[in-house]
Structure 1
C-alpha cells in the first residue's frame, strides 16, 4: 500500500512540475510576442540598454584614427651592472587626426615596468612612455618587449629594450663561499 502511494505521489509531482514548466514557457513566449508587436522590447544591440555594445560612432570604420609615431622603437642600454636599475623614455607623436588614448602597456617580464600617459594625446602633440628595467637576478644579454595597446591603427605597437648585464653579484653555493 505504501509503495503504491509513493509512486502515485511521485507521478503527480512529475505531472505538476512539467505542467508548470510549460505554462511558464508559454507565458514567456506570449510576453515576448506582445513586446515585439508593441515595439517595446529593447534591442539587444542598443548601447543605451546594453553597456557591452559600442555605439555606432565608436565603430565607424571611416572615422579618422590616431597614429603613434615614435622617434625610436628600440633602445640599447649597453653594458650595465646587475645591481643598477635603468630607465629610458620613448617619445611619440600623435600624427593622426583623432585623440590618441593608450589603453595599456605591458612587458614580457616583471623586471620591465612601463609608465604611459593616461590622458588622451591630441593630434600633433607628443607623449612619453618611460620604461624601467631591473636587472636583479639576470645575467648576460637581455631583450625585453613592451606591448602598447591604443586606439590607433594598428592597435598594437611594440617597443624593445636591450642590454648586457655584467658584474653579477655571486650567489651562495654557486662557486664556493661568497666573499664581497
Structure 2
C-alpha cells in the first residue's frame, strides 16, 4: 500500500512539473528564452567600408617594392577605432591608423611585404576594430621571381706568370 501511494504521488508530482513547463515556456515574454533581434542594439555604431580586401601584386622581382594600401571609410555614426592589425607572418607588416577615424572620414592601412623571399605569396592581415561588421581580413597575393644574377666574366686577358711545363 505504501508503494502504491508513493508511486501515485511521484506520478502526480512529475505531471504537475510537466504541465508547469508547458505553460511557462521560452517565448512567454519573461525574457529568459531565445534572444530576439527586435530589441537588440548593436554594440557599436562605427562601420568600416574597405575599397578592396585583396591586393594582387602580380609578378614582382626579388627586392622590388612590396608595399600596398587598403583605403577605407567610416560609414558609421561613431568614431572607428582600429585596435590591432596583425600580419599572418613576420614577412607581412601592416601599419594601421592609431587615431580614431571620425564618421564620414577615411583612412589607409599600409601593408609591406618582404620581397626578398622568392615564390608565391598568399598572406593575410587581420584588422580588429570596434566596427559593427567585426574583424576584417585583408589578403595580399602574387609571385616573387628570383633576381637575375650578374656574373662578370673576365675579358680576354694575357696570362701572367711562368708557363706551365709538361713533364713526361
Moved over 6 A (4+): none
Preserved CA contact (<8 Å) 2:42 2:132: no
Give 1:1-180 correspondences, 5 Å limit: 61-62=41-42, 64-136=44-116, 138-168=117-147
> How far is 1:70 from its partner?
0.5
Checking the alignment, whether the CA contact within 8 Å between 2:44 and 2:131 is kept in structure 1 is: no
Instruction: Please identify the structure whose Cα radius of gyration is greater.
Output: 2
Q: Runs of 5+ in structure 2 lacking a partner? A: 1-39, 153-168
Output one character per residue of 1:49-77: Cα deviation in whole Å (capped at 9) or x when no partner.
xxxxxxxxxxx944652111001111111
Instruction: Tell me the distance in 2 between the aligned counterparts of 1:62 and 1:85.
Output: 41
TM-score, L = length of structure 1: 0.57
RMSD: 2.1
Deviation at 1:169, TM superposition (A): 6.7
Q: Give TM-score, length-normalised by structure 2.
A: 0.61
Q: Does the 8 A contact of 2:66 with 2:112 survive in 1?
A: yes
Query: In structure 2, what is the Cα distance between the partners aligned to 1:112 and 1:63?
Result: 31
List per-residue Cα deviations over 1:121-175 (Å, max 9, x = no partner).
0111100001011122x222211100000011232101111111112477xxxxx
- Does the C-alpha gap of structure 1 residues 97 and 140 become closer, same or farther in structure 2, counting only changes over 3 Å? same
Q: How many residues align?
A: 113
